[in-house]
């Protein structure tokens, strides 16, 4: 049985709630237990891509391509503490003035690539500094080889954007790991991918030397002029932020773990200030 209610995302002073709260208590028979304030800088990341919003408040402009299969977009909340503002875009015209464009991870590399081509992004992307992450990195390659039809639905090869001189081969076994790499940059994050990087003319940016605590030796990452790619999510919290400084983009985040803990702390503090926790505990015990 419902015993109480909380007002969520409330703006203003609590006294303005009094009349409405009394009406709700009389109408529902439930007790008012407080409110959670609307937070301009939300400490909680959205659960899905339908709820993504502008991130950050800086003067530099970062545009993330929001294709329908976008995934792992929460990593771009690193820009909350930066000199940049991130927008999620769906049209080439929205890229104008971007200091950096990001091709994020994707649940389906083939479909995302088709979407980019149909939307007319191909030539426009050549004009901007570009970072591809996981599936976005794969899309930037020359050729994508899908012998088992894992991405395209049938075995085939298809042309990528050709912005980096790599090929990608999709394997049945998916890599899922906490990963660390060393080379031109030191990087730490996580991998979720079936695509394996095959180098044509470009050289690896680093070597993944650890997966889930086990030692490995896997070449990864690539950079050509202002085009940059990595298979490791969470790279903005580690070595890649140094590379972005060359583009004038500065990120002042801590580690991913510390950022998440900080966000949770802010949400907890807001809840404690506005909600009658003692009464909730009494209701729970009764």
Tell whether 87 and 138 lie within a shared domain: yes
Tell whether 201 and 279 lie within a shared domain: no
**Residue whose token pair is 């994050």:** 189
List per-residue pLDDT tens for the chain, 286 residues long: 789 999 998 888 888 889 999 999 999 999 999 999 887 655 555 554 545 667 778 899 999 999 989 988 778 878 878 899 999 999 999 999 999 999 999 999 999 999 999 999 999 999 999 999 999 999 999 999 999 999 989 999 999 999 999 999 999 999 999 999 999 888 999 999 999 999 999 999 999 999 999 999 999 999 999 999 999 998 887 778 888 888 888 888 766 667 777 778 888 898 999 999 999 998 888 7
Whether 79 maps to a domain, the answer reads yes
Triad 237, 243, 248: Cα angle to 5°: 100
Tell whether 156 and 214 lie within a shared domain: yes
β-pairing, 130-133 vs 100-103, is parallel
Whether 203 maps to a domain, the answer reads yes
Tell whether 29 and 148 lie within a shared domain: no
Beta bridge partners of residue 63, listed in sequence order: 87, 101
- Split into its structural domains, the chain has a count of 2
Integer Cα distance of 244 and 185 in angstroms: 12
Provide the token pair at 19: 């009349």
Parent domain of 271: 4-38+261-285
Q: What are phi and psi of 136, to 5 degrees?
A: -65, -40
Enumerate the active-site residues. 134, 233
- By residue count, the chain amounts to 286
- Per-residue pLDDT tens over the stretch 117-155: 999 999 999 999 999 999 999 999 999 999 999 998 999
Integer Cα distance of 281 and 276 in angstroms: 9
State the CATH number of the domain containing residue 189: 3.40.50.880
Provide the token pair at 284: 């729970």
Whether 43 maps to a domain, the answer reads no
pLDDT at residue 212, as a whole number: 98
pLDDT at residue 228, as a whole number: 94
Tell whether 34 and 59 lie within a shared domain: no
- Terminal-residue alpha carbon distance, the chain: 12
Whether 274 maps to a domain, the answer reads yes
pLDDT at residue 87, as a whole number: 93
Tell whether 238 and 115 lie within a shared domain: yes
Integer Cα distance of 255 and 235 in angstroms: 10
CA-to-CA dists, residue 139 to 103, 104, 228, angstroms: 8, 10, 12
β-pairing, 156-159 vs 143-146, is antiparallel
Tell whether 180 and 66 lie within a shared domain: yes
CA-to-CA dists, residue 281 to 24, 25, 133, 209, angstroms: 21, 19, 45, 49
Tell whether 17 and 91 lie within a shared domain: no
Integer Cα distance of 29 and 26 in angstroms: 6
Integer Cα distance of 109 and 118 in angstroms: 14
Triad 243, 248, 254: Cα angle to 5°: 60
Tell whether 71 and 163 lie within a shared domain: yes
Whether 45 maps to a domain, the answer reads no
pLDDT at residue 242, as a whole number: 81
Tell whether 156 and 82 lie within a shared domain: yes
Tell whether 86 and 192 lie within a shared domain: yes
Integer Cα distance of 119 and 140 in angstroms: 16
Cβ-Cβ contacts under 8 Å for 91 (sequence gap 6 or more) = 119
Q: What are phi and psi of 6, to 5 degrees?
A: -125, 135
Whether 48 maps to a domain, the answer reads no
Tell whether 99 and 209 lie within a shared domain: yes
Cβ-Cβ contacts under 8 Å for 56 (sequence gap 6 or more) = 62, 79, 80, 81, 82, 84, 85, 86
Whether 114 maps to a domain, the answer reads yes
Whether 46 maps to a domain, the answer reads no
């Amino acid at each position: 049985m419902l015993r109480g209610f909380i007002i969520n995302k409330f703006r203003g002073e609590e006294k303005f709630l009094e009349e409405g709260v009394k009406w709700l208590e009389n109408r529902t028979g439930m007790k008012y237990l407080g409110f959670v304030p609307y937070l301009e800088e939300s400490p909680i990341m959205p659960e899905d891509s339908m709820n993504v919003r502008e991130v950050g408040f800086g003067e530099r402009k970062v545009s993330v391509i929001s294709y329908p299969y976008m995934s792992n977009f929460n990593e771009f909340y690193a820009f909350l503490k930066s000199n940049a503002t991130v927008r999620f875009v769906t049209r080439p015209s929205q890229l104008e003035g971007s200091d950096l464009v990001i091709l994020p991870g994707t649940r389906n590399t083939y479909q995302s690539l088709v979407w980019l081509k149909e939307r007319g992004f191909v030539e426009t992307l050549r004009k901007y500094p570009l970072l591809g992450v996981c599936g976005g990195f794969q899309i930037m390659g020359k050729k994508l080889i899908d012998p088992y039809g894992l991405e395209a639905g049938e075995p085939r090869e298809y042309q990528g954007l050709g912005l980096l001189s790599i090929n990608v081969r999709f394997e049945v076994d998916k890599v899922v790991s906490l990963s660390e790499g060393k080379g031109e940059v030191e990087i730490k994050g996580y991998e979720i991918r079936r695509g394996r990087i095959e180098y044509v003319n470009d050289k690896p940016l680093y070597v993944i030397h650890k997966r889930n605590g086990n030692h490995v030796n896997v070449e990864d990452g690539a950079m050509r002029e202002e085009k940059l790619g990595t298979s490791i999510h969470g790279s903005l919290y580690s070595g890649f932020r140094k590379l972005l400084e060359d583009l004038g983009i500065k990120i002042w985040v801590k580690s991913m773990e510390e950022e998440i803990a900080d966000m949770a702390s802010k949400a907890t503090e807001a809840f404690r200030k506005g909600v009658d926790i003692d009464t909730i505990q009494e209701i729970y015990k009764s």
